[in-house]
Amino acid sequence: MLKEFKEFALKGNVVDMAVGFVIGAAFGPIVTSLVNDILMPPVGLLINGVDFGNLFVVLRDGPKVPTPYASLAAAKAAGAVTLNVGVFVNVVVNFVIVAGSVFLVMKGINRLRQKQPAADPVPATPARSELLLEEIRDALKQRTETPSGPLRE
């Protein structure tokens, strides 16, 4: 059983998938930072300075401090129940960026696979009977084309 597991674990597809998971895990925080730190601040500025990370709706005040809350962190610290719209928007933007990146990578890989020249197929050697039939055909053709006249039986 250990031998079978070793064969399975060391197959190319499993190793490739593991590498993909590791790279994907490293790629996630980069995309999160891109969305939270690069993309969303200008978008928030365009719509009257809204910070998407702090865009939330209070469903129920917290027992410690009543509304208004300056930030999502303050609302959570007060124990308020919130609908975190901004966090959801950030996650959706993260997903779109990751999905788009994966799509572009897969499109590039598929393009590379298609551009690989196909190996020239080795022409099959005709069977001996086919070679003999071709020789007979060629001999008959030469015999009928001789200037001495048509073939007589």
User: Model confidence over 114-148: pLDDT tens digits?
Assistant: 776 666 666 678 888 888 889 999 988 888 776 65
Tokens at 17, concatenated: 């998938």
- Domains by residue range for the chain, with CATH: 2-124 (1.10.1200.120)
Claim: this prediction has a pTM higher than 0.95: no
Buried b / exposed e across 65-96, counting CB within 10 Å, b at 16+? eeeebeebeebeebebebebebbebbeebbee
Q: Calculate the dihedral angle through the C-alpha atoms of 95, 98, 100, 105, rounding to the nearest 10 degrees.
A: -160
Nearest-CA neighbor of 28 among 90, 81, 111?
A: 90
